[in-house]
Amino acid sequence: MTQPGSAYFIPEGESPIIRTTLAVIVTNEPGVLARVVGLFSARGYNIESLTVAETDHEAHTSRITIVTSGTPGVLTQIRAQLGRLVPVKRVIDFYGDGDAVSRELALIKVKGTGDVRVEAMRLADAFKCRIMDAGLDHFTFELTGSSKKLDDFIDLMRPLGLVEVSRTGVATIRRGTETI
């Protein structure tokens, strides 16, 4: 077995790898994102998706949404280390949270004519895509949904002339009136 580049190598079979979404509520100040991303980089953790936006202008609060994966022990370390960063106010883990809604937006450019064009339109309709730009030889689709839905659509567009993909990253929120 070959050891990967992570400083925290854990042999296979010891613990399952879990994918989770973390919401990190931070003080909106210069360098905060660099500190959060630096924590992941320095310890060899991977960020699969990253979304950042100010959520409360008056309180100078931002929300960093991170999708990452690791063993339960590694994820516990990530949450604890994030919580110790000075500008971090709160860390919320959405793993296994059936009361959470996660969505992502993608813009997908497809080039094609004739039957390929017709098939791309048919699939886009089935996935409930919006057409954002169209020409005689191309389409740009907007698709919102789960990351899996976006992945599935992109995979179907590859043989039809996929040209470019731009994704926003995951946004997650709990259902109901409960706040974080």
For residues 143-164, give the mean pLDDT: 97
Please tell me whether residues 87 and 106 are part of one structural domain.
Answer: no
Considering the chain, what percentage of its residues have pLDDT values greater than 70? 93
Q: Are residues 69 and 110 in the same domain?
A: no
What is the total count of domains within the chain? Answer: 2
How far is the C-alpha of 178 from the C-alpha of 180, rounded, in Å? 7
Contacts of 118 (CB under 8 A, 6+ apart): none
5 pLDDT higher than 70: no
Per-residue pLDDT for 24 more than 90?
yes
Residue 9: the pLDDT is 58
pLDDT digits (tens, 9 = 90+) for 27-78: 999 999 999 999 999 999 999 999 999 999 999 999 999 999 999 999 999 9
**Residue 6 above 60 pLDDT?**
no
Q: Is 174 exposed, middle or buried (0-12, 13-18, 19+ CB in 10 A)?
A: middle
The range of the structural domain enclosing residue 48 comes to 18-93
Claim: this prediction has a pTM higher than 0.85: no
Q: Is the pLDDT of residue 14 over 80?
A: no
CATH of the domain at 146: 3.30.70.1150
What backbone phi and psi angles, to 5 degrees, belong to 115?
-65, -35
Q: Does the structure show a pLDDT above 70 at 2? A: no
Average confidence (pLDDT) over 161-179 = 92
Which CATH number belongs to the domain containing residue 60 in this structure? 3.30.70.260
